[in-house]
């Protein structure tokens, strides 16, 4: 955890968010600027800056975060139509908050390629 990181502060509940799910290693909350009718962020409690900072020992954690995305999609009713899971990494990848997170988006038809 870091004192100044926005998502660490949300995980610690120092900053309010609309939490939809929590478990021992992740917090899932609504994105403040949703890009789809359903848009949540799956955020590990542990501060990892980006996918590029992931270590071999983090591979299981990332797998469980993706598994959490699948479970949330099922629970929230977006799985049958389909959904998207995104990890932006680094500047050119479009990452703006430097604490690893997965976007889970659904409820509309997605376009490809992304902008
Ligand atoms: P990224 O660009 O992949 O780093 O995604 C960061 C996401 O965090 C963006 O989609 C923002 O809308 C979202 N965001 C920023 N601040 C907050 C906040 N306080 N609560 C919830 N989502 C946020
Ligand atoms: Zn953090």
DSSP the chain: --SS-HHHHHHTTSS---EEEE-SSEEEEE-SS-SSSEEEEEEESS----GGG--GGGHHHHHHHHHHHHHHHHHTT-TTT-EEEE---TTTTT--SSS--EEEEESSPPPSS--
> Is 101 among the catalytic positions?
yes
Question: Residues lining ligand 1, CB < 6 A?
Answer: 6, 17, 31-33, 41, 88, 94-97
Overall pTM > 0.85: yes
Q: Pocket of ligand 1, candidates 41, 53, 92, 95: which has the most ligand atoms within 8 Å of its Cβ, to mutate?
A: 41
Q: pLDDT by residue (tens digit) across 48-97?
A: 999 999 999 999 999 999 999 999 999 999 999 999 999 999 999 999 99
pLDDT score of 3: 85
């Amino acid at each position: 955890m870091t004192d100044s990181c926005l998502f660490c502060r949300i995980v610690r509940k120092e900053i309010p968010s609309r939490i939809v799910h929590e478990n021992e290693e992740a917090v899932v909350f609504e994105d403040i600027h949703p890009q789809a009718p359903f848009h949540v962020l799956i955020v590990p409690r542990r501060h990892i800056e980006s996918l590029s900072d992931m270590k071999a020992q983090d591979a299981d954690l990332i797998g469980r975060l993706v598994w959490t995305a699948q479970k949330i999609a099922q629970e929230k009713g977006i799985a049958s139509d389909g959904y998207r899971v995104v990890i932006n990494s680094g500047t050119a990848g479009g990452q703006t908050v430097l604490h690893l997170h997965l976007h889970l988006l659904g409820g509309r038809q997605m376009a490809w390629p992304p902008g």
